Amino acid sequence: MFKHQVKGVFFDLDGTLVDTAPDMALALNLQLERHNKNPLDYSVIRPWVSHGAAALIKLGFGVTPEHQEFEEYRLEYLNVYSDNLAIKSQLFPHLNDLLNQFDANGIKWGVVTNKPEFLALPLLEQLGLLKRAAAVVCGDTVKPSKPSPTPLFLACKLAKLNSNECIYVGDAQRDIQAANSAGQYSVAVKYGYITDDDKVADWNADLVLNSSKELLDLFKS
């Protein structure tokens, strides 16, 4: 099924490896409460989580980076979220079994995310994943970030792997673009934070999966 023998698997973080949406939504609603605004339904917030603080600020406050208030809102959100990183966030179903399978079979795995280090590293530490990962590359570890392949090349270097021996799994078009540009096998997962505007079939992923169970089954086979 794969182009080459698989020796490494890298994951996007939010919406692919870890279900962070509950805590990211909590942070946005706490921030909205500070500004005497009504909270948003979780179902409204969830699809935008993969697009980071900027997308959530636009969703909650209707401002974009061009607005004078944007940076103040963004920094406030990040501070609120940093205090609530791992209240409900957890691995998606079946992915703990998948990581255990990788560890047992000598397949290296890691995380390549656009989430900044000051959020991603403590989150992975609190979930007991940081020391297990062969490589963790965050949005400010190296530039440019995804959709550039640069972070994936760095992850391979840290894990001592060739890029064509690796798979990258993500829930956003930039993830698939980065994987394809890096010469890795690209897997798009629709269980992640997908918006109504996302046309996953047009992302040119090597494989599209609907559930985390399908991801587990993929490597079992």
The catalytic site residues sit at 12, 14
By the 8 A CB rule, do 203 and 168 touch?
A: no
By the 8 A CB rule, do 146 and 112 touch?
A: yes
* Angle (CA) 144 108 170, round 5°: 45
List of residues 6+ apart from 188 with CB closer than 8 A? 170, 171, 175, 176, 200, 203, 205, 207, 208, 209
Residue type, 70: F
By the 8 A CB rule, do 21 and 92 touch?
A: no
Using the 8-state DSSP alphabet, how is residue 184 labeled? P
Query: Which residues are bridge partners to 18 per DSSP?
Result: 14, 91
Taking each helix axis from N to C end, the angle separating 117-126 and 70-82, rounded to the nearest 10 degrees, works out to 20
List of residues 6+ apart from 39 with CB closer than 8 A? 29, 32, 33
Burial label for 64, CB within 10 Å (0-12, 13-18, 19+), is: exposed
